[in-house]
Structure 1
């Protein structure tokens, strides 16, 4: 799994994730998202277009990051989630919380 972060001219932070996000790889995603809560009032967009699989460990990382970012006054949303991840969000009841479409 790979994750890379970019900031655009408006200050929006985009984290592009690729590969499988599971118990073994979620620490990489957690490390990429952890410092983003320090960007108070930033919008963080997590792009899951290239994620082929996500389990509950990955979901936990996303929810924890969302909590920290929201507590700092920012907003996090998910884009590009494939059917498997969207199903995971739906089953967990967090689709609206993650602002995922």
Structure 2
């Protein structure tokens, strides 16, 4: 059983582009660019899945850190990259907690 109403991908994008954007495709303060809006979708959705399955926020942040440093090949992580990963996971957790407060509808 799903514990959340439908997750809005646009809300995850707002979080990811504002806080994470490891390859720097967006412009600060302008949100996600339309031509590459879906660039980080699968990573952000994977974090949601990890959290839904009981993984810790630390594990989710480590996953995002791995994505940037290893999968995207950006090299070793640093303090700023780690901070961005942690803040992104915290933002996703806050979003998911807000969704829990919305009543689920039965169809």
TM-score (norm 2): 0.30
Higher strand share: 1
Higher helix share: 2
Q: Which has the higher contact order (CA 8 A, sep 6+)?
A: 2
TM-score (norm 1): 0.32
Largest Rg, 1 or 2:
2
